[in-house]
């Protein structure tokens, strides 16, 4: 039985998931909220990006269950009855367990994507002579007896088989989706299929189906090829780049979610209080956020992170393994981002609260003797919650981008932790090599752009659905004659 370890960010992520589930249940019960969310998914880009985000979320969740595997008893040692089991000194996650082959197939140094040869030439004895040749890789393509002739065919065959598998998965999922739609809408399956094909469903299910197929056709071959080869190559120390990219998704996700959520308590409390009570409370809170926002953000974060570093060096008893230290640092980074980043949302909520408190229903409530705390909680907070949601979703993508910059500056996540920022940082030196080592950089680029683009498009969808002003604008655009398809 392995020993489960609950890291700080794991705990936070699972708490957030619990909150998300609770929120979803509430949304399903409240028709207006459900209507707004339905509007989000009616937007085709938002629908597709939500699928990408869910995929990334699944990877994050897999990577958020950590444990230390039990070590096998030492051979020859006397078998004690109730000896305390020994655990490995490194923390592993479920994702590591799934991708264990990728971790194990470590080469000695760089290799190109899908290659069976090393990138750097070595002196080897070929036919009795010493020659500078690229050596065969230890793991990548080791099943090929005569790689020069077999390689292309093998890659094509494996990719084809993977694509086929992906297609089977995609068709199964599509069928399940169609069945679910027909069950929920109480329509016969054939009619649902006809509607989807005619693209006349309110939610663009045809787009969802198409992206399912694209995902299947990309992920399928990628999975098939990542076993026998290094799909995205290996880095300087021979680690698989695909594995690093997948691990980096969690770091990006944790920073994107935790850091925005960490801004909420301060921003919401202070924003509501300032807008509602006005007077000296307002002055004080305004002063606080003016002070905060007058320090350039990067500098403030750098200063805080430097202090966190000193603090961690001083208190080594807070963590047992290297992974736990890196994780605590990530958690504290999110806290720092939260504590330094609440000014914008606070200002927004203050303004909105000021407007709301003058409205008749609030005046009436206070005339009836409803207490301040109750007015704030029942009458004002629900009416500014959409702003909170929009800002949170918008911030997510910018924080993922921010992480890369912070890592570059040297105040980001721990270097031992996989992150897109770290990958780019290493890739900087690789790009100046000759010949160029481009694949780490390209992998980080591809994954990061996909994630950030998905987050941006989703955020746009959420904003359009929840912001009354954006909606008015959208309607006007839809009504204009320049739009061809009505």
Closest separation between CB of residue 406 and another protein, Å? Answer: 10
Q: Looking at 105-113, 156-164, 222-230, 300-308, which segment touches another protein (CB under 8 A)?
A: 300-308
Per CB under 8 A, which of residues 433..462 are in contact with another protein? 436, 441, 445, 448-449, 452-453, 456-457, 460
Binding segment for another protein among 144-152, 208-216, 311-319, 374-382 (CB under 8 A)? Answer: 311-319
The reply to whether 310 sits near another protein by the rule CB under 8 A is: yes
Give the residue with the Cβ less far from another protein, 265 or 410. 410
Nearer to another protein, 280 or 368 (CB): 280
Task: Answer yes or no whether residue 266 interacts with another protein by CB under 8 A.
Answer: no
Task: Confirm or reject binding of residue 313 to another protein (CB under 8 A).
Answer: yes
318 binds another protein (CB under 8 A): no
Closer to another protein at the Cβ: 211 or 309?
A: 309
Q: Which of 128, 483, 485, 486 binds another protein (CB under 8 A)?
A: 483
Q: What is the 3-state secondary structure (H, E, C) of the chain?
A: CCEEECCHHHHHHHHHHHHHHHHHHHHHHCHHHHHHHHHHHHCHHHHHHHHHHHHHHHHHHHCCCEEECECCCCCCCCCCCCCCCCECCCCEEHHHHHCHHHHHCCCCCCECCCCCECCCCEEEEECCEEEEECCECCCCCCCCCCHHHHHHHHHHHHHHHHHHHHHHHHHHHHHHHHHHHHHHHCCCHHHHHHHHHCCCCCCCHHHHHHHHHHHHHHHHHHHHHHCCCCCCCECCCCCEHHHHHHHHHHHHHHHHHHHHHHHHHHHHHHHHHHHHHCHHHHHHHHHHHHHHHCCCHHHHHHHHHHHHHHHHHHCHHHCCCHHHHHHHHHHHHHHHHHHHCCHHHHHHHHHHHHHHHCCHHHHHHHHCCCCHHHHHHHHHHHHHHHHHHHHHHHHHHHHHHHHHHHHHHCCCCCCCCCCHHHHHHHHHHHCCCCCCCCHHHHHHHHHHHHHHHHHHHHHHHHHHHHCHHHHHHHHHHHHCCCCCCC
Q: Which is nearer to another protein, 144 or 207 (CB)?
A: 207
- 183 vs 428 by CB, closer to another protein: 428
CA 103/CA 418 separation, integer angstroms? 13
Choose the stretch contacting another protein; rule: CB under 8 A; options: 10-18, 134-142, 160-168, 282-290: 282-290
Q: Does the protein bind another protein through residue 236 (CB under 8 A)?
A: no
Choose which of 311, 371, 377, 378 interacts with another protein (CB under 8 A): 311
- The reply on whether position 4 binds another protein by CB under 8 A is no
Q: Which of 256, 271, 265, 221 minimizes the C-alpha distance to 399?
A: 256
Residue 284 interacts with another protein (CB under 8 A): yes or no: no
Nearer to another protein, 284 or 377 (CB): 284
When binding is defined by CB under 8 A, the residue of 56, 267, 268, 427 that contacts another protein is 427
Judged by CB under 8 A, does residue 190 bind another protein? Answer: no
Q: How far is the CB of 413 from another protein (least distance, A)?
A: 15
Identity of the residue, 164 or 300, whose beta carbon is nearer to another protein in the bound complex: 300
Binding residues for another protein restricted to 378-407, rule: CB under 8 A: 397, 401, 404-405
Asked whether position 84 contacts another protein by CB under 8 A, the answer is no
Identify which range of 56-64, 164-172, 265-273, 472-480 contacts another protein by CB under 8 A. 472-480
Furthest-apart CA atoms within the chain: distance in Å: 99
Which residues have CB under 8 Å from 452's CB, separation 6+? 397, 400, 401
* Of residues 301 and 375, the one with the C-beta less far from another protein: 301
Per DSSP bridges, beta strands 129-133 and 122-126 are: antiparallel
Is 335 a binding residue for another protein by CB under 8 A? The answer is: no
Q: Tokens 């045809």 sit at which residue?
A: 206
Cβ proximity to another protein: between 186 and 476 the closer is 476
Tell whether residue 408 is a contact of another protein (CB under 8 A).
yes
Residues interacting with another protein, by CB under 8 A? Answer: 287-288, 290-291, 293-296, 298-300, 302-304, 306-307, 309-311, 313-314, 397, 401, 404-405, 408-411, 420-421, 424, 427-428, 431-432, 436, 441, 445, 448-449, 452-453, 456-457, 460, 473, 476-477, 480, 482-483
């Amino acid at each position: 039985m392995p020993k489960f370890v609950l890291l700080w960010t794991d705990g936070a992520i699972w708490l957030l998931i619990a909150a998300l589930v609770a929120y979803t249940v509430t949304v399903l019960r409240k028709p207006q909220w459900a209507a707004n969310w339905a509007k989000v998914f009616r937007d085709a880009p938002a629908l597709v990006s939500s699928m990408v985000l869910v995929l990334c979320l699944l990877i994050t969740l897999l990577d958020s269950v950590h444990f230390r595997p039990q070590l096998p008893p030492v051979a020859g040692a006397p078998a004690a009855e109730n000896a305390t089991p020994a655990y490995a000194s490194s923390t592993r996650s479920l994702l590591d367990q799934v991708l264990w082959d990728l971790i194990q197939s470590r080469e000695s140094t760089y290799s190109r994507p899908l290659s069976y040869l090393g990138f750097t030439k070595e002196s080897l004895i070929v036919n009795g002579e010493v020659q500078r040749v690229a050596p065969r890789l230890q793991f990548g393509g080791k099943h090929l007896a005569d790689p020069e002739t077999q390689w292309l065919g093998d890659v094509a065959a494996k990719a084809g088989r993977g694509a086929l598998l992906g297609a089977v998965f995609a068709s199964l999922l599509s069928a399940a989706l169609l069945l679910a739609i027909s069950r929920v809408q109480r329509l016969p399956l054939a009619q649902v299929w006809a509607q989807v094909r005619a693209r006349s469903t309110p939610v663009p299910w045809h787009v969802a189906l198409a992206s399912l197929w694209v995902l299947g056709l990309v992920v399928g071959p990628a999975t098939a090829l990542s076993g026998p080869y290094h799909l995205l190559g290996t880095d300087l120390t021979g680690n698989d780049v695909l594995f690093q990219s997948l691990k980096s998704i969690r770091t990006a996700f944790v920073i994107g979610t935790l850091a925005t959520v960490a801004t909420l308590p301060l921003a919401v409390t202070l924003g509501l209080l300032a807008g509602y009570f006005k007077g000296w409370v307002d002055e004080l809170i305004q002063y606080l956020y003016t002070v905060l926002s007058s320090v350039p953000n990067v500098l403030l974060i750098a200063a805080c992170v430097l202090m966190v570093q000193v603090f961690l060096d001083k208190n080594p008893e807070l963590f047992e393994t290297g992974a736990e230290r890196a994780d605590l640092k990530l958690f504290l980074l999110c806290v720092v981002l939260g504590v330094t980043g609440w000014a914008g949302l606070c200002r927004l909520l203050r303004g909105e609260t000021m407007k709301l408190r003058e409205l008749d229903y609030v005046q009436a409530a206070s005339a009836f003797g409803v207490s301040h705390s109750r007015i704030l909680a029942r009458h004002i907070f629900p009416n500014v919650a959409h702003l909170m949601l929009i800002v949170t979703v918008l911030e997510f993508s910018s924080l993922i981008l921010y992480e890369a910059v912070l890592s570059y500056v040297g105040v980001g996540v721990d270097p031992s932790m996989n992150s897109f920022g770290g990958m780019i940082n290493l890739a900087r030196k690789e790009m100046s090599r000759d010949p160029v080592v481009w694949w780490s950089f390209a992998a980080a680029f591809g994954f990061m752009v996909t994630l950030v683009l998905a987050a941006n498009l989703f955020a746009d969808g959420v904003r359009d659905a929840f912001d009354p002003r954006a909606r008015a604008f959208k309607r006007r655009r839809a009504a204009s004659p320049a739009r061809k398809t009505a």
